[in-house]
Homo-oligomer: A and B are copies of this chain.
Amino acid sequence: MSTQSDNGRELTFGRAIREALAEEMRRDPTVFIIGEDVAEAGTPFKVLQGLVDEFGPERVIDSPISEAGITGIGVGAAMTGMRPVVDIMFGDFVPLTMEQMVNQAAKVHYMSGGKLRVPMVLRTTLGATRRSAAQHSQSLHALLSHIPGLKVAVPSTPYDAKGLLKTAIRDNNPVAFFEDKMMYQLKGPVPEEEYTIPFGVADIKRQGRDITIVATSSMVHVALNAAEILEAIGISAEVIDPRTTNPLDRKTLVESTIKTSRAIVVDEGYERYGVTAEIASVIADGAFYYLDAPVKRMGAMDVPVPFSPALEDLTVPTVDIVAETAKSLCGRT
């Protein structure tokens, strides 16, 4: 993990998020958090627990259940000197914020000829397999990735989560930050010393020679596990995490594929018109003359997420399917 430090400390993904918020709130008094049950409750995922004690209810604000309203207030506050972090409990509620994100936040800077800015972060979640059914399991990051004027981060490790969130808060543009709710307990190295991670810089999570697996958020771990399986049968997979879908580090993705001559793109959003489509077409175009096989896409099945434990897991790319697909792309069976 090129960009990662190796001092001993380990944190969970959730703790890394909290630490990033706390550090930025200490550093900049204009940063505040607004959302449903973010204060005493610290969100249903307990990610923000303790922040209200340090920063008080003026900076960690429990709001009514008004996603559009808090996003709109965030946009206005951001335009006038604050750095709001708007907490949208589930990514499934992002559609409620779309007007404010798409028509206001994303366009204010451009429409004002560069005079107004919207330094706001919209923090929300993605990810299925939690038995939460169709309205609490979606990964809708593609919707916001499509909109010029917005930036979108999809961290996959505690280290990346912290570094990218600090960057998001300091960025002078609206940033949508998607956290996989199933990863909050995931542990990983996070150095004591402060750091940030630039947007638009992919991270090579694993070096490889035979095939490139581009994966986002939760799917990075699926890809890494698939790479282990492939290793065992002599296929060397390179796993690349774009870390931000917008801006997208096209160069790294294309160069890796030029090297390996094969690519798979794995993302937990719906496959059709989703993140895998953009990345796969960028690679298919950029690495065209070097590809030995078609670029394969693996997104979530194009169905509303079913509740039944017998069905839900079938809708998300798994380690085995990724490994199988990689094998056949490499002409092995």
Q: Which residues of A contact B (CB under 8 A)?
A: 92-93, 95-96, 98-99, 101-103, 106-107, 110-111, 133-135, 140, 142-143, 145-149, 245-246, 248, 269-270, 272-278, 280-281, 284-286, 288, 291, 293-297, 302-304, 306
Contact = CB atoms under 8 A, between A and B. Distances in A.
Nearest to A95: B98
Contacts of A272: 145-146, 148, 246, 248, 278
B96 A92 contact: no
A134 B146 contact: no
Contact of A273 (B92, B96, B110, B278): B278
15 contacts: A96-B98, A98-B143, A102-B140, A110-B303, A111-B135, A142-B146, A143-B146, A146-B270, A146-B274, A148-B302, A246-B272, A273-B274, A277-B280, A285-B294, A285-B296
B110 A103 contact: no
A302 B272 CA distance: 20
A133 B245 CA distance: 26
B148 A135 contact: no
Given A95-B99, A281-B280, A273 B145 contact: yes
A295 B287 CA distance: 11
